Amino acid sequence: MREVRLYYSDFGTMYIDDTSSHNIEARVIEFITSGVISNLSEMGIADPLTTHNIATKTLPAGFKLYAKTKFTSITLSSGSVNCY
């Protein structure tokens, strides 16, 4: 049997629905409404938008993006997300 573990943030959930830059500590970004991430920082990853293959893409509501390490900042062009 294969064991699957999901690691969520120890820092709670942050809801974001604007185009300002936000400092976050999260392992998952979940889209509440469809949207686009214009800037994303992830610890130890040089270009997370390209690494996760989401640069310039509109992501649908319900989409979950899982960090390889930990997300540290996010800026949305549109949409709303929960970061946890």
pLDDT per position as a tens digit, 2-43: 655 555 567 788 999 999 999 999 999 999 999 999 999 999
> Structure pTM?
0.87
> Considering only CA atoms, which of 42, 17, 19 is closest in space to residue 32?
17
> Considering only CA atoms, which of 30, 6, 11, 16 is closest in space to residue 77?
16
Question: What's the domain range around 75?
Answer: 14-83
Q: What is the per-residue pLDDT for 2?
A: 60
Residue 38 lies inside a defined structural domain of this protein: yes
Domains identified in the chain, total number = 1
Residue 9 lies inside a defined structural domain of this protein: no
Residue 73 pLDDT exceeds 80: yes
Residue 4 lies inside a defined structural domain of this protein: no
Residue 1 lies inside a defined structural domain of this protein: no
Amino acid at 25: E
Collapsing DSSP to helix, strand or coil, 21 comes out as strand
